[in-house]
Amino acid sequence: MYLKHQSRISRFRHPYGAVPTGTEVRFAVQLKTEGETVLGVYLAYAHGLYAFETSRCRLMPDDVRTAAGSDYAVSLRMPLEPCLYFYWFEIETGQGKVYLTRDREDLQGGGQLAKTKPRWLPGEAHSPLAWQVTVYDQAYTVPTWLTGAVIYQIFPDRFRRDAAFSPERFEAVASAERIFHEDWDEDVDIVGKPETGYIACDFFGGSLNGIREKLDYLAALGVTVLYLNPIFKARSNHRYDTGDYGQVDPLLGTTEDFIALCAEAQERGIRVLLDGVFSHTGADSRYFNKLGRYPGSGAWQEATEGTPSPYASWYVFHRRGDQLFYDAWWGFPDLPSVNEHDLTFRDTITGKNGVIRHWMRLGAAGWRLDVSDELPDAFLRELRLATRAEKADAVLLGEVWEDASNKISYGSYRDFLLGRTHDHVMGYPFQQALIGWLAGHFPAQHLHLQLETLREHYPPPAWSASFNLISSHDIMRAMTALAGPPDPGSREAQAQLVLTADQRQAGETRLRLAVFFQMIYPGCPVVYYGDETAMEGYRDPFNRRTFPWGRENKLLQQWFGWLGCLRRDWTVLRIGSVRVLYAEDDCLVLERFLVGEAEPQPDTGPHHVLAALNRAAEEKTVQLENRTIRLAAGGCLLEADGKKQRPPDSLETSSVLC
């Protein structure tokens, strides 16, 4: 028996990919028997989110016939409620039942025969696999300014001191555990003070005004969105242990400094996203107040002293005999977990005068949600309502590390990309695919497969605004990932590893290709501060070193800036369609093009862009249907409306462009 279904080919499934609620979708299989008696061909399916309903329907012979057999098809209207829709095929024969299930490795979304039906429920081993259709809210859109935006991420303490900086600012807010680096170029601390050990409390003095003073630099990189790691008062340098949601950390500046930053950024066409940490607070905070550094009674005081606190219901305490415990994020006692179902907490965050809306009134364009996969769906929906109530074009970015369309956490699929919570999510699958390919871990076919799977699963608004990073504050720097030895594990060992001259040369070549692909591919290319000058480093805290002002890699900065400005200025690179023309081993060729209503005005760039990359250390030739492309070692090609594009003259000698 011959059975065929390819979810990415319109003959077998139409329309492509994720669909709005109520869309009619056609499903088909190609069947050729070899003497078997076929009693029925069925589409079997399950749809839902927190719970699933299952059914099956008979496929009828269709009018498509080939030497390989006949098509059987059915058209179904998708549910009117956003959900996940899983499907497979069942063929009943005289000898029993045959299942056609998804082949994970087939680029066209093909299938394979199985003896049992697929498993899709949370907690099951998903083998065999079902095909997936993401059914999203018809009203799901993202603001037009977000689609294709160039995003720059800053870890505030490490980007730049402002012109008025003085050590006295640190001394005014110093505490016993804090360490101040007078030398901006000193390496990060991994020891801490003897009485505390390492607790991420070393500071360099970067500030909001330091960022504001470099807005022209960011604009020259083509940046249109600035994403800041947490800026609120906290004990640590990373500030994911929020101490006061209502106050800018004094080391970074003041509320007025934040207002000025947003206003001056807006003058340059740059919007500002803030980092919201709502799954936990700091133990050293006005809400928990374990260290007693804040006025008033925190939850800790009520639990230990009986002093009433308005924040006590935010946290969950346990007693075992005379011992007191509390729920903490991943068990870290400095990060007590918050009960997001508590209505007083919700009102503090999402209320009319809550944290979300307050900082947006002061200039923020939206929020990135820390560990959003650990926040309840109902709370996420409330966060989205609050952002949109304050600004109709606000955005909500979620930290999700996997394919967010079918992410499972807390025993359930999640409402992440159905149009009711996030506008877009962090693109760690993109990072893993691109860096993995450029580092030589797998061929271009695998890169194409991984990215095409995301494109099939994600609703178009989310996919076209995906946060396509190559580095972040939570993973090693792209330079190190592309050319360095594997992570040795301990901080002490990481501190000793520095790229050799040969490794840096290879890393810079691959980094140029990485940002080239970022800026050409759909989504939002994200530059983590310092990547544009080839900063290196393993995980936290080495990926959070200070920006090397005065010691930058100028040629690489210009490369990033040239590509970033093309991305900002060319409509086709922001919203154009994409087609991969070639993806084999070391080489990849793709095109971006505008169709229909997306046609640009004459001053918004070309209508068609072709890009080609070669990761290999030797020249490669790519044979397309109608032309041959020769790519230098580690080289790339960029054409716009058929004309080769070159960077500024200053980059000619170092360019990898063919």
Assigned token pair, 166: 């003085």
pLDDT for res 603: 66
574-651 maps to which CATH number? 2.60.40
Q: What's the rounded mean pLDDT across residues 16-27?
A: 98
pLDDT digits 0-9 by tens, 311-358? 999 999 999 998 999 999 999 999 999 999 999 999 999 999 999 999
CA distances from 242 to 230, 396, 487, 502 (A): 8, 19, 29, 42
pLDDT digits 0-9 by tens, 560-605? 999 999 999 999 999 999 999 999 999 999 999 998 755 555 568 9
pLDDT for res 602: 56
| CB burial string 409-448: b at 16+ within 10 A, e below | beeebbbbbbbbbbbbbbbbbbbbbbbbbbbeeebbebbb
Task: Compute the distance between CA of residue 377 and CA of residue 408 in angstroms, rounded to an integer.
Answer: 12
Looking at the DSSP bridge assignments, the partners of residue 114 are 99
Beta-carbon contacts of 413 under 8 Å, excluding residues fewer than 6 positions away, are 49, 50, 84, 122, 406, 407
Assigned token pair, 618: 């030797």
Domain 2-136: state its class.
Answer: mainly beta
**How many C-beta atoms surround the C-beta of residue 604 within 10 A?**
14
Task: Compute the distance between CA of residue 156 and CA of residue 152 in angstroms, rounded to an integer.
Answer: 12
The enclosing H or E element of 356 equals helix 355-361
> Does residue 653 surpass a pLDDT of 60?
no
pLDDT digits 0-9 by tens, 372-424? 999 999 999 999 999 999 999 999 999 999 999 999 999 999 999 999 999 99
Q: Is 656 exposed, middle or buried, given 0-12, 13-18 or 19+ CB atoms closer than 10 A?
A: buried
Which sign, positive or negative, has the C-alpha torsion 48, 50, 55, 56? positive
CA atoms within 13 A on the CB side of 283: 14
Percent of the chain with pLDDT over 90: 91
> Does residue 654 surpass a pLDDT of 80?
no
ω into residue 541 within 30 of 0, thus cis?
Answer: yes
Question: How high does pLDDT run on average in the chain?
Answer: 95
Task: Compute the distance between CA of residue 280 and CA of residue 340 in angstroms, rounded to an integer.
Answer: 9
Closest CA to 566 of 532, 601, 516: 516
pLDDT for res 176: 87
Residue spans of the domains in the chain: they are 2-136, 280-338, 574-651
Label the pairing between strands 19-20 and 131-136.
parallel
Looking at the DSSP bridge assignments, the partners of residue 325 are 318
Q: Using 50, 70 and 90 to split pLDDT, how confident is the model at 500? A: very high
Query: Residue 422, Cα to own-chain centre: how many angstroms?
Result: 11
SS3 content of the chain, % helix, strand, coil (to 5): 25, 30, 45
**How many C-beta atoms surround the C-beta of residue 116 within 10 A?**
10
> Does residue 282 surpass a pLDDT of 60?
yes
Domains 2-136 and 574-651 share a fold: yes
**Model's pTM, two decimal places?**
0.96
Assigned token pair, 168: 């006295």
Q: What's the rounded mean pLDDT across residues 252-277?
A: 98
Q: What's the rounded mean pLDDT across residues 194-205?
A: 95
pLDDT for res 650: 64
CA distances from 370 to 38, 79, 157, 401, 523 (A): 53, 31, 18, 11, 20
pLDDT for res 313: 98
The enclosing H or E element of 467 equals strand 467-469
